[in-house]
Amino acid sequence: MSELSNKSAVENDSEPKVGLTPAPLWAVTLLGILVYALIVRSINSGGDFDPNVYGRFETPKEVQDGHPAVVLPDWFVPGRKVYGTYCVGCHQGNGAGAPGQFPPLAKSDWVNVEGPNRMVRIVLNGLQGPLKVNAVDYNNAMLAWRDQLTDQDIANVISYVRNEWGNKGSAATAAEVKAIRDATKDKGEQWTEGQLLQIPVK
Ligand code: HEC
């Protein structure tokens, strides 16, 4: 008799059961829609997961229109663009360069000096031979950009590099670049470290 009543209790549907019940279809569908909406939102407004979302804008004006509180210097967006076209292949997007091959620009003791005097010369004519950057030795060659880049391009990219990745430096102007371009027009070959060290930083 007692065995019989136990059995009927187990089979009774209204009793609570132990175990997993499948989630109802509406809940799965709702979750799917939510995940989809989150993905769409993060694509549209996530800034490509780049902490520095300015790359999404083409001109300083676009940035201003979208973010009235952000005031970017004129050289930032064009300088970043020159960097992305002419420098990034060797010095990398994070400015770290490549060990033993391309020296870093981020925190570089050639970049973080009082004035852009030497850096303008490096970009105009290139640099070759033994070189110490942050106490690490390199011995490679960088070509001249004199014929590819305008005074304004060079001023922009130098100002950008001197203020990106934690670098701190004054901006360069097109007039400064022009003066150095004219003064070094007969230089021809690339600079060496020894020659550059003779040039005052400012
Ligand atoms: C083809 C590779 C290459 C490209 C492209 C290139 N560089 Fe360089 N750069 C080098 C190498 C290699 C050196 C070191 C040369 C040596 O060993 O004497 C160097 C050195 C430098 C230095 C001095 C050292 C340092 O790390 O601070 C600066 C500043 C610099 N480059 C800036 C630039 C800028 C700005 C651009 C873009 C306009 C650029 N470079 C494009 C390869 C490159």
Reply yes or no on whether the pLDDT at 14 is more than 90. Answer: no
Structural domain includes residue 31: yes
| Co-location of 105 and 192 in the same domain | yes
C-alpha distances out from residue 162 to 14, 55, 73, 79, 169, Å: 74, 18, 13, 10, 5
Structural domain includes residue 32: yes
Structural domain includes residue 7: no
C-alpha 174 to ligand 1 mean position (Å): 20
C-alpha distances out from residue 186 to 181, 182, 183, 190, Å: 9, 9, 8, 11
Q: Ligand 1 pocket: which of 137, 142, 162 to mutate (most atoms <8 Å of CB)?
A: 142
| Co-location of 145 and 125 in the same domain | yes
| Co-location of 97 and 158 in the same domain | yes
| Co-location of 32 and 124 in the same domain | no
C-alpha 131 to ligand 1 mean position (Å): 11
| Co-location of 40 and 88 in the same domain | no
C-alpha 20 to ligand 1 mean position (Å): 62
103 Cβ inside 6 Å of ligand 1: yes
pTM (2 decimals)?
0.73
| Co-location of 40 and 104 in the same domain | no
Reply yes or no on whether the pLDDT at 195 is more than 90. Answer: yes
Nearest CA to ligand 1 atom 41: 87
89 Cβ inside 6 Å of ligand 1: yes
Residue 136 structural domain: 58-197
| Co-location of 186 and 114 in the same domain | yes
| Co-location of 27 and 117 in the same domain | no
Reply yes or no on whether the pLDDT at 11 is more than 80. Answer: no
Structural domain includes residue 2: no
| Co-location of 86 and 184 in the same domain | yes
Task: With CA atoms as reference, report the closest residue to 103 among 148, 72, 134, 70.
Answer: 134
CATH number at residue 138: 1.10.760.10
| Co-location of 133 and 33 in the same domain | no
| Co-location of 46 and 77 in the same domain | no
* Amino acid sitting at position 184: T
Structural domain includes residue 145: yes
Q: What is the pLDDT of residues 53-88, one digit of tens each?
A: 555 666 677 777 776 666 789 999 999 999 999 999
Structural domain includes residue 156: yes
Domain limit, last residue, from 50, 68, 94: 50
The number of domains in the chain is: 2
Mean pLDDT estimate for the chain: 88
Q: Quick check: 133 and 109 in contact, CB under 8 A?
A: yes
Q: What is the pLDDT of residue 44?
A: 79
Two tokens, residue 202: 């400012």
| Co-location of 149 and 167 in the same domain | yes
Structural domain includes residue 12: no
106 Cβ inside 6 Å of ligand 1: no
C-alpha distances out from residue 194 to 110, 132, 141, Å: 13, 11, 14
Q: Quick check: 120 and 176 in contact, CB under 8 A?
A: yes
